[in-house]
Structure 1
Amino acid sequence: MSRKILIVEDESLVAYDLKLILTRAGYRVCGIADSVAEALEIIEEQKPEMVLLDIFLKGNLNGIDLAGILTSKNIAFVYLSANFQESILEKAKATQPYGFLVKPFREKELLITLDVAFYRHQNSIESKLRREQALEQVFKNIVAEPITWKQKLLKISTSLQPHAPFDYLTIIVKTAAGFSEEAISFLRTGFDEYQVIGTDEFLNVTKVSKAQLKQMQADSPLVTKTGFYNGADFIRLQSQFPVKKLLAHSFNMQSFLAIPLITSKGDNISFSFYSRKADCYSNDHAVLLDRLHRSLLTAIEEIMPVDHSEIEAAKNDKYAGKELTEKNKAAGFQGIIGKSHQMLTVLDHIGIVAPLDTSVLVLGESGTGKERIAKSIHYLSPRKNKPLVVVNCASMPATLIESELFGHEKGAFTGAVEKRTGKFELADGGTIFLDEIGEMPAELQVKLLRVLQEQEIERIGGKGPIKIDVRIVAATNRNLEKEVEEGRFRLDLYYRLFVFPIIIPPLRERKDDIPVLANHFLDRYAQKSGKKITGISTDVMAQLRDYHWPGNVRELEHFIERSVLLTDGPLIKQAYLPKMQNKKESPVYEDAATDRLKTIDEHAREHILEVLRRCNGKISGKDGAASKLGLPPSTLHSKMQKLGIKKWE
């Protein structure tokens, strides 16, 4: 049965060209709409599987507005537009589309993008279903364990962590008589470590009395539906919820996600998730918790004690989450040091994706530890007993990289004196880590795409394809979106790899990890050198926290190693740091605050003006600017009008 596609495009000629291409390719076009209102009518009636979505449409609403509705209905969509201004592009990216197409585009580009979009969407659906089923089984297993009710609650909470991340989680019961005396909260202190915060501990931290807390609870409305609030929205919400305001200020929480569970007795059990990230929660988290509502409620009703004396007896219990998590998972993170919420999020993402066969793209600056992340993904996966093959794409000559990756037969080319097995064959059954994939030549990108699509390779000089079973983890310190825009990286390969990105924050953005990392490296190099160095002075540690660390964790490690060699006493008392604390380099994934980057439109305007100058103002014809730019003259005229180019001089 052919797949149904809806075209939402306000230019009728473009829309009917698209319909012709799609019909010829075997798709079923279930409608063409030029406005959000018309699109919604067709969606309701036809239930398309994919929407090709222009951003600028007729009416008050645009394609970005419709994208949010499509996401809520779990319908995949691909943007197509001739006007990807930087501000519009940022808003479009935030809706998490399954692809972008910039007009004018070729038929082949359209079909490849659709193929990738369907692949990513299907992968996403299957992953979500597996995740829900796995969590439901986890809840049942926890309920059956011979441990206390508080331990079970902690285990339920930690099982949700990779899917609904939190730095602080509160579970509170409200009955007809009012709020329970003893709310249970879990403060995350490490990857698998949690501190239990009861009412008494909460009062000690926040410096309020029990009477004040009761009054705050009485002044707060009851949460009756699942919802999330990030950043400024959460700040505004706090005016209605005094307890949330107190908690946010005391523990530095910036996002909030709630799910209320109504028991068979009519009691309200509220799960309140808090994060130190200002943009932590999304509709995906709310949807997941809603879908888990029944199984979570069943588990909680069986877990929660019915006798108040049971609650009182457990009031002072403290449990470390580490005792309750899988030991092999902690071992899989060996070598990854960090307790900041940014790094804990990275570890959570590794925990989610490692058991799957999904391709992973690790993004981060040089020195952040991308290879360690790749190794953790492998060692936490079912492939851990098979090979992990590491390939640095930047270190191999362009003339040899194909032979290195795919192998060659004897006599395939001059110098091929014997048969060579490529890296992909060596990794069969295991994982291949393609480091610095942004350096891969364009012609090899095509072959890599085939490996991802077909799970087969072909040796140079070989007689046919060879089936392989390899999981691909790739990494780069480049901005691949920019590489795609400038034609150096294939769009279809980018989306194949971008199924599950893991972004490693630079060290300057997670300064809470600096003392932990510094002491870890100190122990290592003190032992290696045979010196009895026991610590780092307060002054030096303050300098380490203030330094910008352009070389990230690798630079910190080298600094500690050097300091150990130069230190005679038991403490490192002097920081031999480069004098560049104030010369902050622009990170790969964000603009420097003091150096505004030009917008895409500004670059386009300058480029068109330069071409017009070289063509002496001529637009049409053989030597005209339109020809040089590869655009129809009418399109160039439109772009000039849009960019305010009235004359070329």
Structure 2
Amino acid sequence: MNEKVLIVEDQFIEANDLKIMLEKSGYTVCGFARSVNDALTIIKAQNPTLVLVDILLKGPQTGIDLAKKLHETNTAFIYISANSNHEVLEEVKATQPYGFLVKPFRKKDLLVTLEIAHYRHEKSQENEIRKAGHFKEKLEAILDKKQSLEDKMLHINMALQAFIPFDFAGSGYITQGPVPYNALNFLRVGFEEYQVIGINELQEMTNLKMNELKSLQQTTPVDLAARFYTDLEFEAITAKPSMKKLYADTFRLRSNFVMPIHLFNGEVFYFFFYSRRPDAYNQEHVATAHRLHNYLAEILYNLLSVEKIEMPLSTKKHEEVKTEDEERNATFEGIIGNSHLLLNVFDYIVQVAPVNTSVLILGERGTGKERIADCIHKLSPRKNNPLIKINCAALPTNLIESELFGYEKEAFTDATDRHIGKFELADGGTLFLDEIGELPLELQAKLLRVLQEKEIERIGGKQSVKIDVRIIAATNRSLEKEVGEGRFRLDLYYRLNIFPIQLPSLRERMDDIPLLADHFIALFNKKTGKQIMDVSNEVLQKMLHYHWPGNIRELENAIERSVLLARGNIITDIALQSMAEMPTIAKHAPPTNYSAVKSFEENERDHIISVLQLCKGKIWGKGGAAEMLNIPPTTLNSKMKKLSIKREYI
């Protein structure tokens, strides 16, 4: 064993006990530290492979402060603390530790936690190496393709999406000429779907003239190194007129990452990434930018030396570019929506599916956790092998063990034949453990052993059975809270929580409700033989301002009932829970006093035209029609095309 461990603990007796346990088990302890400063000094000199960090230390800084620095340098660390309550776990979760030990602990607990930390760190490094290699291959393939410069820049930005998430991206040189950020922009409108936005499109969307854009360019700060702006810092930098403020207001953006690439000829090429999440970027993305810099510098130099980017870049008007990947599109078919939170989930699925890492899917009831597990399996190398599912909450406690591990004939009174458990059935494939938070504590210990040793033992059996199974677990509970209250094992939590995917609730992606409603109407039309066309505006507004405690499942049930009860081809009523809990209707929500004589589409068309006239034709940004209608600008554009609304009508 060649593991060097640093112990950061301000109590000498406890630190020495740890040292004895570790050295007896073959680890090398490279030092003790009682404060953050002491720890940083030893880390610089000794370069340990793992750090054990107490939360409370000598001096003004805590173990959490040290953990943030360790996370930035990709050093594996484990917390050791006497406190494991929910509040503490929530605080340490943000630093992404590799484990957590609650004092006092046994030697066995320590060794298991170290093993899990080593496994998680190894998987994390493997994933980064794999992603970097895949990224380099993608860049080389992009350079070799016979495509326009615009298409090549789009695919470079898409390749970066796996490392630096974005809802809006700009790429180009910063110039002092008559055009701002000699850049080509891409607005993400769906999974692997992007709207190309050149200078002409930007002028049209913002109603600004070239000299106004130039003025904004001159007031925009320029970063010479990779940097991120989130939360209050983003609010501060977008408080004054600039291109950043323009982008933020126009596309509803809340954080920014700047990635300058220094080319071999001395020029600087910029990538500007924006997200609708206020906390999308962190120091880890800066480290990623440094790792990818040389790959990008070489590719961009070769690409741009052939054809320099000159403005105007795009002759395509509000065009949505859809990339081709039939397998992925087929896999995600049935998951409806284009909200940025859902698109982030798709990105995570694509990243984790090809590797054997355990996945923990988190989300409220009815958010579609099982559907996400299906997608991960279908995109994995195990797709031709079984996907076995078990709901841990649906089985009585005395049956879960036999269902998971199986039993031998005559293992108990009713065991008249051998029974093969879910683990064996999933051998070579994937096992989906739904509602993992409901698993009894005694079975959590057995599950952890199976995950570590990769073998199971049937009830009543005398021989172990080797298994090769990928685990996907899901829960609607806060496992941190369950751990803090003693209902879930901390070591199992860290074993499962290698790659968490948080699913958004329906109220967090209200923009997707019209798409979901259309999808469910079409689904139940097929089942019932009805020909429902749409929902009335009153019903749509009711759905858009409801709190949806049951999420997508509740919406599906509500639409099914409404389809069955509808007397015409428009749904005019929908049964929801008490509206008393609903949030206040947005002040810009469209009126609902439509004429009963006109069709729904005619009413919708007239209303959109009236709002566009009120906004003087402005679609995007603050005071635009999309904001007043409370729908995404891309959805408004699609509706205008569908309803044949042309500029001359506005």
Fold similarity call, TM over 0.5: yes
- Mean CA deviation greater in 99-108 or 444-453: 99-108
1:229–1:256 CA contact under 8 A, matched in 2: yes
Give distance in 2, aligned partners of 1:318 and 1:310: 19
Give distance in 1, aligned partners of 2:87 and 2:480: 15
Task: Tell me the residue number matched to 2:299.
Answer: 299
Q: Per the alignment, do residues 177 and 309 of structure 1 end up closer, same or farther by CA in structure 2, a change over 3 Å counting?
A: closer
Q: Tell me if 1:51 matches 2:44.
A: no
The one-letter amino acid of 1:297's match is A
The one-letter amino acid of 2:261's match is L
Task: Tell me the residue number matched to 1:81.
Answer: 81
Structure 2 counterpart SS, 1:352: helix
Structure 2 counterpart SS, 1:290: helix
Structure 1 counterpart SS, 2:31: strand
| 1:398-434: CA deviation from partner (whole Å, max 9, x where unpaired) | 2222221112221222111111111111111111111
The one-letter amino acid of 2:285's match is H
1:391–1:433 CA contact under 8 A, matched in 2: yes
Matched ranges for 1:86-485 at <5 A: 89-174=89-174, 182-239=182-239, 242-304=242-304, 312=312, 314-316=314-316, 320-322=320-322, 324-485=323-484
1:221–1:241 CA contact under 8 A, matched in 2: no
Q: Per the alignment, do residues 360 and 558 of structure 1 end up closer, same or farther by CA in structure 2, a change over 3 Å counting?
A: same
Task: Tell me the residue number matched to 1:25.
Answer: 25
Give the structure, 1 or 2, with the largest relative contact order (CA under 8 Å, sep 6 or more). 2
- Mean CA deviation greater in 546-555 or 432-441: 432-441
Give distance in 1, aligned partners of 2:86 and 2:379: 39
1:220–1:240 CA contact under 8 A, matched in 2: no
Q: Per the alignment, do residues 116 and 308 of structure 1 end up closer, same or farther by CA in structure 2, a change over 3 Å counting?
A: closer
Give distance in 2, aligned partners of 1:309 and 1:334: 36
Task: Tell me the residue number matched to 1:493.
Answer: 492
| 1:305-358: CA deviation from partner (whole Å, max 9, x where unpaired) | 755697558533666442x24210111112211111111111111111111111
- Mean CA deviation greater in 78-87 or 350-359: 78-87
1:82–1:103 CA contact under 8 A, matched in 2: yes
The one-letter amino acid of 1:528's match is K
Give distance in 2, aligned partners of 1:181 and 1:81: 50
State the 4+ residue runs in structure 1 displaced beyond 4 angstroms. Answer: 83-89, 175-182, 305-314
Task: Tell me the residue number matched to 2:527.
Answer: 528
Q: Per the alignment, do residues 576 and 5 of structure 1 end up closer, same or farther by CA in structure 2, a change over 3 Å counting?
A: same
Structure 2 counterpart SS, 1:400: helix
Give distance in 1, aligned partners of 2:313 and 2:213: 22
2:86–2:485 CA contact under 8 A, matched in 1: no
Cα RMSD of the aligned pairs, angstroms, is 2.1
| 1:411-461: CA deviation from partner (whole Å, max 9, x where unpaired) | 222111111111111111111111111121222222211221122111122
Q: Per the alignment, do residues 348 and 549 of structure 1 end up closer, same or farther by CA in structure 2, a change over 3 Å counting?
A: same
Q: Per the alignment, do residues 101 and 141 of structure 1 end up closer, same or farther by CA in structure 2, a change over 3 Å counting?
A: same
Task: Tell me the residue number matched to 1:518.
Answer: 517
- Mean CA deviation greater in 313-322 or 490-499: 313-322
Matched ranges for 1:543-558 at <5 A: 543-558=542-557
TM-superposed CA distance for 1:103, in Å, is: 2.5
TM-superposed CA distance for 1:209, in Å, is: 1.4
1:154–1:186 CA contact under 8 A, matched in 2: yes
| 1:548-578: CA deviation from partner (whole Å, max 9, x where unpaired) | 1111100100000000111111211112212
| 1:498-523: CA deviation from partner (whole Å, max 9, x where unpaired) | 00011111111211111111111011
Q: Per the alignment, do residues 246 and 102 of structure 1 end up closer, same or farther by CA in structure 2, a change over 3 Å counting?
A: same
Structure 2: runs of 5+ lacking an equivalent: 584-650
Structure 1 counterpart SS, 2:398: coil
2:220–2:244 CA contact under 8 A, matched in 1: no
| 1:232-255: CA deviation from partner (whole Å, max 9, x where unpaired) | 111122357711011101111001
Q: Per the alignment, do residues 84 and 360 of structure 1 end up closer, same or farther by CA in structure 2, a change over 3 Å counting?
A: closer
TM-superposed CA distance for 1:199, in Å, is: 0.8
The one-letter amino acid of 1:442's match is L
Q: Per the alignment, do residues 313 and 39 of structure 1 end up closer, same or farther by CA in structure 2, a change over 3 Å counting?
A: closer
The one-letter amino acid of 2:255's match is S
Q: Per the alignment, do residues 146 and 418 of structure 1 end up closer, same or farther by CA in structure 2, a change over 3 Å counting?
A: same
Give distance in 1, aligned partners of 2:3 and 2:508: 44
Give distance in 1, aligned partners of 2:57 and 2:170: 44
Give distance in 2, aligned partners of 1:445 and 1:138: 41
Q: TM-score, normalised by structure 1?
A: 0.86
TM-superposed CA distance for 1:151, in Å, is: 0.8
1:221–1:240 CA contact under 8 A, matched in 2: no
Q: TM-score, normalised by structure 2?
A: 0.86
Structure 2 counterpart SS, 1:171: strand
Give distance in 2, aligned partners of 1:401 and 1:105: 28
Task: Tell me the residue number matched to 2:539.
Answer: 540
Structure 1: runs of 5+ lacking an equivalent: 585-649
Quote the sequence identity (%).
50
| 1:367-412: CA deviation from partner (whole Å, max 9, x where unpaired) | 1111101000001111111111111111222222222111222122
Structure 2 counterpart SS, 1:165: coil
